[in-house]
Structure 1
């Protein structure tokens, strides 16, 4: 079922969002000092391309540096990527079939705004952590 959802997602929104994240990552690679943010952009871009079956969790080792990095990210790329998620989510919510995908898009806004200090893991890993 996740594969089917991911395939529909790629056609409706995933590819477009992936291109946005890759473009942001390439632009962030231009000044050498922002390469860590470019890596985060590429990482989230892959998640935006194929999101179902994975989830975002907080990194236990994240500290103040992540928060400061997120402020820089927000100014350089976060706002624009969040706007892309909002626009795509609204467009998907116009149709009944697209509503679940629009909601999934809205759920990605927090990581598009503040990606540092977050980790993308399989859903099964979070279930094991809760049970064990």
Structure 2
């Protein structure tokens, strides 16, 4: 089921989302200060490309990760989380869209605190 879900995900926006996250990572990596944030965008891009069958584990980020998560949350994390929550709500209205809504809930969680998150 996860393979079929990933194929449908790719066809209906997964590739576009992954490219958008990758481009955001490239833009952030232009500056030295933005490199850690750009690396997190690359991590999210890989998850957006193939989300079914993967789980996100938050935590184990240390003091530096905590500081970067706070900066991420204040600057752009809350916007990502709200956008993915809205999309998840729209998908979860229909029975067919529930699996895709659940993937957007994972993305909302990752969008809030990407530093120290592990994708399995």
TM-score, normalised with respect to structure 2: 0.83
Aligned length: 120
CA distance in 2, matches of 1:56, 1:20: 20
SS for the counterpart of 1:96 is coil
Structure 1 segments of 4+ aligned residues over 3 angstroms from their partners: none
The equivalences for 1:1-132 within 5 A come to 1-58=1-58, 60=60, 62-121=61-120
User: What is the CA-CA distance between 1:11 and the residue it aligns to?
Assistant: 2.5
User: Contact between 1:20 and 1:81, CA under 8 Å: does it hold in 2?
Assistant: no
CA distance in 2, matches of 1:58, 1:95: 29
Uncovered stretches (5+) of structure 2, i.e. residues with no partner:
none
Alignment root-mean-square deviation, CA = 2.1
Mean Cα deviation higher: 11-20 or 110-119: 11-20
Q: Is the strand fraction higher in 1 or 2?
A: 1
SS for the counterpart of 1:115 is coil
CA distance in 1, matches of 2:19, 2:104: 15
Cα shift readout 1:52-71 (whole Å, capped 9, x = no counterpart): 122122464x3111110101
TM-score, normalised with respect to structure 1: 0.76
**Aligned equivalent of 1:127:** none
